[in-house]
Amino acid sequence: MVERQSPLEPEFHVGSHGNFEHGVEILLTETRPGSIVQLAAWPGEEKKLMAAIRTVTGLALPDGAGGGLSDGVKSVFGFAPGKFTVADDAEGLAAAFAKVVTPDIGTVTDLSHGRTAIRIAGPKAEWVLAKFFAIDFALPAFPIGAGRSTAHHDVFAQIQRTGSDQFDIHVFRSFARSFWNALCHASEEVGYEVQ
């Protein structure tokens, strides 16, 4: 198996940075899931698609816009009407879905190479993300597991909250390095560590 090249590589500097002398309040990393798949149901077929997601991943999606969950290995969330993003540490998710998501249910689009997943965690994660995105990151407004589609100017992002102070941000691969640099820059104020 040929390893995938990360778009962040030359700018991915493991260690502590910024104003970290008083402690690091942000952890940044690239989660590098083996698979990122977009699933989209035809109108009225959303429940079947959710069942298919459960079949393949074992994750039972909650109802409702932007609902999602993560088991630490696999994660799934809704990002648009009838549409879901599923990520898995393992490769081959698209092929697995292709078997169960029949053409009458909806479509499967493999984005494993096309999206880069960046994880931001720590007590200042909400603070740093709020520098970029005009959505409310407070826990009551953005519960754990939920997903949001939003954008920072030209950079489209899907964000899933995977912990009380942890978020996974999916961005287009071609923008990933620029966004990563911006995220690091914005984290300097509170001190951050790249892992």
Partner 1 sequence: MLITCPYCGPRDVIEFTYQGDGNRERPDPASQNFEAWNAYVYDRLNPAGDHNEIWQHSGGCRAHLRVVRNTLTHEISSVAFVRGDHASAARRKAEGQS
Partner 2 sequence: MSPRRTDTGGRIDRLKTIRFTFDGVAYTGHAGDTLASALLAKGVTLFGRSFKYHRPRGLLTAGVEEPNALVTVLKGEVREPNIPATMVEIHDGLVAISQNRFPSLAWDIHAANQLGGKILSAGFYYKTFMGPVIGPLKGTRFWMFCEHFIRRAAGLGSAGSAKDPARYERMNAFCDVLVVGSGPAGLMAAKAAADQGARVILADLEPRFGGSANWSDETIDGTPATDWVRRTVAQLEGRDNVRLLPRTTVWGYYDNNTLAALERVSDHKEQPAKGEPRHRYWAIRARSVVLATGAFERPLVFPGNDRPGVMLAHAAERYANEFGVLPGDRIALFTNNDSAYRAAVALKKAGAAVVAIADVRPELSAEMRSLATEAEAEIFAGHAVVATEGGKTLSGIKVQRFDMVTGALTGDARSIHADCLLMSGGWSPTIHLASQAGAKAEWDAARQAFLPPKPTQQWPTQQWIGAGAFTGSFSTVEAIAEGRAAGLAAAGGTGTPAALPIVEAVPGEPDPAPVFEIRAKGKSFVDFQHDVTAEDVRLAHREGFVSVEHLKRYTTLGMATDQGKSSNVPGLAIMAEALGKPIPEVGTTRFRPPFAPVSIGSLAAERFGDLKPERLTPMHDWHVDHGATLYSAGLWYRPMIYGHAGETVEQAYVREARATRESAGIVDVSTLGKIAVQGPDAAAFLDRVYTNMFSTLAVGKARYGLMLREDGFAFDDGTTWRLGEQDFLMTTTTANAGKVMQHLEYFLDVIWPELKVHVTSVTDEWAGAAIGGPKARQILAACVTGTSVDNAALPFMGIVHGEIAGVPVMICRLSFSGEMAFEVYCGAGHGTHVWEALIEAGKPFGLVTYGLEALGTMRIEKGHVTGAEIDGRTTARDLHLDWMLSKKKPFIGSAMMDREGLVASDRLELVGLIALDNRPLNGGSHIVEEIDEANPHGSIGHITACCYSPALGKHIALALVKGGKARHGTRAHVSDPLRSRFGPVEIVSNHFYDPEGTRMHG
> Bridge partners of 119?
29, 168
**Interface pick for partner 1 out of 102, 141, 174, 195 (rule CB under 8 A):** 141
| Residue closer to partner 2 (CB basis): 51 or 175 | 175
Provide the token pair at 56: 């393949």
User: How near is the Cβ of 45 to partner 2 at its closest, in Å?
Assistant: 10
Task: Answer yes or no whether residue 13 interacts with partner 2 by CB under 8 A.
Answer: no
Residues 15-54 within binding reach of partner 2 (CB under 8 A): 18-19, 38, 40, 42
Task: Answer yes or no whether residue 167 interacts with partner 1 by CB under 8 A.
Answer: no
CA–CA–CA angle 7, 9, 13 (5° rounding): 135
Please state, in angstroms and rounded to a whole number, the distance separating the CA atoms of residues 170 and 87: 10
Query: One symbol per residue from 93 to 112: x for binding partner 2 (CB under 8 A), - otherwise; what is it?
Result: ----------x--xx-xxxx
Closest by alpha carbon to 118, among 28, 26, 11? 28
Contact 192, 25 (CB under 8 A): yes
**Interface pick for partner 2 out of 13, 123, 141, 143 (rule CB under 8 A):** 141
